[in-house]
Amino acid sequence: MKLEELPDEGAYTPGDNACAGCMAANIALNVMRILGKNTIVSVPPSCMSVFGGTFPNINWDVPYFHMQFSNTASTITGISRALKAQGKEDIVVLGMAGDGGSADMGLQTLSGAAHRNENILYICYNNQAYENTGIQASSVSPYGAWSTTTPVTGDFAGNEYMPKDLPRILIAHDAKFVATASTSHIQDFINKVEKAKNMKGFRYIEVLSVCTPGWRTESHLGPQLAKEAVESGYWLLIEFENGELNLNYEPKFTGLEDFLMKQGRFKHISAEQIEEMKKHIKRRYQTYKNLMMNNENNCK
Ligand SMILES: Cc1ncc(C[n+]2csc(CCOP(=O)(O)OP(=O)(O)O)c2C)c(N)n1
Ligand SMILES: [Mg+2]
């Protein structure tokens, strides 16, 4: 589907309670323009459950479940298996969870579902912190970033840990479909969601999701920050399908400082910390490049 063909209306109604400039709301809106009404969705505790899923103001125009924080993948596994038992295998069973609910709290159920190749579509909107509960760091929060649990005062200014690479963990499961996307590269985003819609088995897409209050930025900067994240290599666009890994966009490795300086969470960051971050970016890129070398050796 081309961007111009994206329907104006989908199965998520606009006008939710999200903060101004919330890219998670944008992701929900666009995902449901692509998936449409033949979908069942589950959302765990997160911003998304609050801004789009509180009765009676639910934005999801499809059956909607809210469950326990760590249970996204097991909840949708249960739904998917129940539908299979009823012979209804054409329905997309979707989980939409945050990074805390995916990389930390929900990792066990996510890993189990990937391992068993459950017939589910799991989308993680990664805003890089536990935003809904007041901006606590998660295991995918960026190095050096301020959060309420990684303050600038103390032994280390901001987050002292490098972010966990969740897509690579799922690739290590040899999962059916693993991809990353960005709200800036919208055609790539559409291609991946549409592909996942039309596939069976375990599908995981992780989308970078700019958060105005959490990133301490301005509400109009979401699309630009998303773009700069991709250009600078801070956020890679990858796709792993049936054992073959591809990089969908070659980063320019420029503009990292500009990207960081638009965000108050990095206001304090030192030149040394930026250098560490750049090294990490290059190392992660090289790791993916190395993994791509396996493509040629694949037994198809
Ligand atoms: C078992 C459990 N622990 C903690 C919470 C409180 N809680 C609700 S939402 C949330 C943050 C979720 O973070 P994330 O998954 O990254 O989504 P975001 O809020 O950033 O959208 C937390 C800690 C909870 N609901 N259940
Ligand atoms: Mg989050």
Domain boundaries defined on the chain: 3-293
What is the reported pLDDT for 300? Answer: 52
Task: Give the Å distance between the CA of 146 and the centre of ligand 2.
Answer: 14
Q: Which two tokens mark 151?
A: 């303050």
Q: For ligand 1, what atom is nearest to the CA of residue 132?
A: 19
- CA pair distance 106, 108, nearest whole angstrom: 6
Nearest to 25, CA basis, from 55, 46, 56: 46
Q: What is the residue whose two structure tokens read 């930025």?
A: 217
- CA pair distance 192, 247, nearest whole angstrom: 13
Which residue has its alpha carbon closest to ligand 1 atom 3? Answer: 69
Q: Position 195: which residue type?
A: K
What is the reported pLDDT for 299? Answer: 55
Which residue has its alpha carbon closest to ligand 1 atom 22? Answer: 133
Task: Give the Å distance between the CA of 87 and the centre of ligand 1.
Answer: 34
Which residue has its alpha carbon closest to ligand 1 atom 11? Answer: 130
Q: Position 131: which residue type?
A: E
Task: Give the Å distance between the CA of 89 and the centre of ligand 2.
Answer: 31
Q: For ligand 1, what atom is nearest to the CA of residue 47?
A: 21
Nearest to 95, CA basis, from 186, 204, 181: 204
The finding on whether 127 has its CB within 6 A of some atom of ligand 1 is: yes
Residue 47: nearest ligand to its CA? 1
What is the reported pLDDT for 92? Answer: 98
What is the reported pLDDT for 298? Answer: 64
pLDDT tens per residue, range 271-286: 999 999 999 999 999 9
The finding on whether 45 has its CB within 6 A of some atom of ligand 1 is: yes
> Could you tell me the fold of the domain covering 3-293?
Rossmann fold (3.40.50)
pTM of the model: 0.98
- CA pair distance 158, 148, nearest whole angstrom: 9
Q: What is the residue whose two structure tokens read 């990074």?
A: 99
Helices (H), 119-179: 166-171
- CA pair distance 116, 222, nearest whole angstrom: 36
Q: For ligand 1, what atom is nearest to the CA of residue 138?
A: 16
Asked whether the beta carbons of 228 and 255 are under 8 A apart, the reply is yes
Sites in the chain below the pLDDT cut of 50? none
The finding on whether 133 has its CB within 6 A of some atom of ligand 1 is: yes
